[in-house]
Amino acid sequence: MAEPRDVVRIPDAKVALSTASVYPESTATAFEIAARLGYDGVEVMVWTDPVSQDIEALRRLSDYHRIPVLAVHAPCLLITQRVWSTDPWTKLQRARAAAEKLGAGTVVVHPPFRWQRQYARDFVDGVWRMANETDVRFAVENMYPWRYRDREMLAYAPDWDVTKEDYRHFTIDLSHASTSRTDTLRMVERMGDRLGHVHLADGRGSAKDEHLVPGRGDQPCAEVLEGLALSGFDGHVVIEVNTRRAMSGAEREADLAEALAFARLHLASALKVPRS
């Protein structure tokens, strides 16, 4: 009788490409690359690219490339302060509406900047209220202190470490964990079953938010993926890497193909079970 061999079960977690990963290329290019490389979907970073702000344009791209929008990243960056209004709650309402219309399951949101005082005071309760009005997950993302030489600025409120607050769902960004010099595995543990979304990227603990291709830094990217697979994680793993230094479109695609292969390998490698 043949010896039992390992069988690999396919995990439930889908691997998506953040449209930010193709910058300075366009949102439309991200859909094209995601479809060509075999990603399960995309996360739309809503920013200054007009297409990223246009729900109908995004729907057409999704239909044309036959690739779903799995998540919408609300416009929370410094460069998107005027995208979809200057009012932060309006931004979140529009992100929720976009997710609902596009069939996305998650809205990713950053904690407020400290100078957004009223928004910061109401943020935790406000996110709960919005989450109670929809089936879309509002997954609040871990951030990091801003550092310059020996100085540190706490730019986010209530805190850059979102596990200190009571949110229904979290996004963990491994590059942000690296920049904050946090123990990533401990942060994942603190998030527990409220971890609903992952931004997969690597880092080396630099003060700059590096977003390296997973496997090129010192973050426990493989361990996080294997742990999620073993725990039955059913959220999304989103490749959010920096390819700005790519010298060509082919080099950018090679990086994104490598990141996808890394994610799929380590999600599956934890799920080997003996064949009966």
Reported pTM: 0.92
pLDDT reported for residue 147: 84
Q: Distance (Å, rounded) from C-alpha 12 to C-alpha 197?
A: 13
Contact between residue 185 and residue 152 where contact means Cβ atoms under 8 Å apart: no
pLDDT reported for residue 271: 61
What stretches of 29-123 adopt beta strand conformation (E)?
41-45, 69-73, 106-109
Six-digit token pair at 248? Answer: 């060509």
The class level of CATH for 15-267 reads alpha beta
Which residues of the chain are under the pLDDT cut of 50?
Answer: 1-4, 275-276
Predicted confidence (pLDDT) per residue in 64-91, tens digit: 999 999 999 999 988 898 899 999 999 9
Q: Which helix (H) or strand (E) holds 195?
A: strand 195-200
Six-digit token pair at 239? Answer: 């490749």
Start-to-end CA span in the chain (Å): 12
